[in-house]
Amino acid sequence: MDGTLVDTEPYWIEREHELVREHGNGAWTDEHAHALVGFDLRDSARYISKHGAIDLPVDDIVNLLLDGVIDRVRRCTPWRPGARELLAELRAAGIPCALVTMSWKRFSDAVVSSLPFGSFAAIVAGDDVRNGKPHPEPYLAAAALLGAEPRRCIAIEDSPTGVRSAVTAGCITVAVPHVVAVPDSLGAHTFPTLAGVTLADLAALASAAQVPLE
């Protein structure tokens, strides 16, 4: 979701800086922020607690982050180029889609509520899984909810953390790098943007992998 469907990474980075200023005694940099892109929120909160010297429980840090980012999204939802158009084409073709995000459900709900009803057949949020990205559990859970084998699913990701999760789960994986670079060595197909990407483009990847899309 963050960085692929919506351009919310700048919101997270702004909020992290605010949080450390308001509650911490350490220093926070964009380098720290970029290191967290795609990570499970509790893992991110532990990192922020350590490097920002914030003496608060992990879940309190997560909820303070979410409060700030949700407020920003409600004021302006920054959609990524081509994402809604591709999602709409997939929905019209009857191909079920799952949203796999390490943001918690109350944030994913705020974003999904701005999309046409039924855009996603399933949602796996960070507070739905025991092991967050880069562990494969989130994508394995999403495939199970769709009733599909992971190898017959295409995952679209923007970060190395997310790509590792999807590739390890066995999905055909597309990387659309945004805030951080995604090394070619991780095994994803790289698209510079989703603008102009169609169902036919994804079907070609599935065909090359010799599996039908579900």
Same domain, 47 and 95: no
Classify residue 213: in a domain, yes or no: no
pLDDT of residue 179: 84
CA 97, 102, 105, 106 dihedral sign is: negative
Give the CATH number, domain containing residue 126: 3.40.50.1000
Helix (H) or strand (E) holding 144: helix 137-146
d(CA 190, CA 183): 9
Same domain, 15 and 62: yes
d(CA 4, CA 82): 10
Classify residue 134: in a domain, yes or no: yes
Same domain, 95 and 172: yes
What angle is formed at CA 126 by the lines to CA 124 and CA 131, rounded to 5 degrees?
100
Same domain, 124 and 175: yes
Same domain, 51 and 150: no
Same domain, 68 and 107: no
Q: Which residues pair with 124 in a beta bridge?
A: 100
Domain span at residue 56? 9-75
- Predicted confidence pLDDT, tens digits, the chain (214 residues): 988 999 988 999 999 999 999 999 888 998 999 988 878 889 999 999 999 999 999 999 999 999 999 999 989 999 999 999 999 999 999 999 999 999 999 999 989 999 999 999 999 999 999 999 999 999 999 999 999 999 999 999 999 999 999 999 999 999 999 888 999 999 999 999 999 999 999 999 999 988 776 5
Same domain, 67 and 104: no
Classify residue 160: in a domain, yes or no: yes
Same domain, 148 and 87: yes
Q: Greatest CA separation found in the chain?
A: 54
Classify residue 3: in a domain, yes or no: no
Domain count, the chain: 2
Same domain, 89 and 189: yes
pLDDT of residue 214: 59
pLDDT of residue 26: 83
Give, as one character, the DSSP assignment of residue 151: G
Same domain, 71 and 87: no
Same domain, 38 and 125: no
- Other Cβ atoms less than 10 A from the Cβ of 27: the count is 10
pLDDT of residue 39: 82
